[in-house]
Amino acid sequence: MDYELIGITVLWTFLYGYLIVASIDFGAGFFSYFSSVTGREHLVNKVINRYLSPVWEVTNVFLVFFFIGIVGFFPSTAYYYGTALLIPGSIAIVLLALRGSYYAFHHYGEKGSGFYQFLYGATGLLIPASLSVVLTISEGGFLVVTGDHLYLDYGALFTNFYSWTVVILAIVSVLYISACFLTFYAYKARDMDAYKVLRGYALFWSVPTIMASILVFLALNQHNPVHFEKMLDLAWMFTLSFIFFVAAVYLIWKEKRFGLSFIFVMLQFATAFYGYGASHLPYLLYPHLTIYDGFTNETMAITLIIVFIAGLFLLIPSLYLLMRLFLFDNQYVQGKK
């Protein structure tokens, strides 16, 4: 495997990691706000906060890792995406900033206000929408490149069917992933009231998630037929994804093995996400930038990979410890610690 492929695989894995942990976080913020508006706050908030409090900072790092890493392996992405994404990127930063800091203000400060909670809930849905713009423009057709100048055609972006399907998929899958995880967590905590509410959310959001996925497929066929053809070559991955989806929803429906069901959810998104990523190759930004253009020099690629492996030796045990203490410790989960 060449360095370019290793590089993009590493980065894609981090983006996948972010997709899962951030979805749980974003969705939880929304559910937390939604349930307090509908008068069910006392049922679910305790469970949500027990999970989120120790991990919110870690979630953020996955994203930082991705955008620092991509500039490291593929410095030219800084030029293309950096120039084009000034506005959506800045908006995403502002939303992330408000969200991150208000989480801390709300939970570590004295009992926060309803306004903080609203901010937290609303940004949870707006951030995935603003971040998904990156995936949309990577399909090409929104970037105008003329000689020394390039800019993002907002008119095309906002009137495009495909770009809206991506936004919808981003939002509903956030809610679906989050609800599935929280169902598992609430059940583990033996918090049956919260569990019932959350299981309802999980089942409810499964339908729009699968429908939005299909919609994105169809829209991509219209928008970028070349990419769509390549996705068909990897049809087995998407079929597998659908099977994992059915298995996950089945288990939640039958109310058993919630841990396994969440693993199925993760596999459902893993297969779809890697399938999408693999079929997008070699393009980073269709048709302007491939992973082979403007790749970093060989010395740096090797060094980055070495550092990455060394870093994993540090991170994996630490993450394991974090999960041992807050995710797989029944005493903690059940609120006895």
Partner 1 sequence: MIEYDPVLYSRLLTGLTLAYHVIFATIGVGIPLMIALAEWIGIKRDDEHYRLLARRWARGFVITVAIGVVTGTAIGLQLSLLWPNFMQVAGHVISLPMFMETFAFFFEAIFLGIYLYTWDRFKNKMSHFLLLIPVVIGASLSGFFITTVNAFMNAPAGFEMENGVITNINPLAAMFNPATPTKVAHVLSSAYLTSAFVLAAIAAYSLLKGKDHVYHKKALHLTMTVAAVFAVATAIIGDFSGKYLAEYQPEKLAAAEWHFETSAQAPLVLGGILDDEGNVRYALEIPYALSILAHGDPNAEVIGLEEFNQDELPPLIVHYFFDAMVGIGMFLAFVSIAYVVLQRFRKRNEHNRLLLWGILLGGPLSILAIQMGWFFAELGRQPWILNGYMTTAEGATTSPHVDLMLYLFILLYIILTVSCITVLRRMFKSNPVEHELKTRGIE
Would you tell me which residues interact with partner 1 (CB under 8 A)? 53-58, 60-61, 63-65, 67-69, 71-73, 75-87, 89-94, 96-98, 100-105, 108-110, 148-149, 151, 294, 296-297, 299-300, 303-304, 307-308, 311, 314-315, 318-319, 321-322, 325-326, 337
Nearer to partner 1, 13 or 83 (CB): 83
Nearer to partner 1, 7 or 275 (CB): 7
Smallest gap from Cβ 27 to partner 1, in A, equals 20
What angle, rounded to 10 degrees, do the helices at 56-73 and 298-326 form?
Answer: 170
Smallest gap from Cβ 214 to partner 1, in A, equals 32
The strand pairing partners of 146, in sequence order, are 149
> What per-residue string of b and e applies to 104-134 under the rule 16 or more CB within 10 Å gives b?
eebeeeeebeeebbebbbbbbbbbbbbbbbb
Smallest gap from Cβ 221 to partner 1, in A, equals 31
Burial class (CB in 10 A: 0-12, 13-18, 19+), 1: exposed
Closest CA to 235 of 216, 217, 252, 219: 217
**113: three-class secondary structure by DSSP:** coil
Nearer to partner 1, 108 or 254 (CB): 108
Assigned token pair, 198:
């959350």
Nearer to partner 1, 104 or 218 (CB): 104
Smallest gap from Cβ 248 to partner 1, in A, equals 28
What angle, rounded to 10 degrees, do the helices at 3-37 and 258-280 form?
Answer: 130
Nearer to partner 1, 85 or 177 (CB): 85
Smallest gap from Cβ 247 to partner 1, in A, equals 31
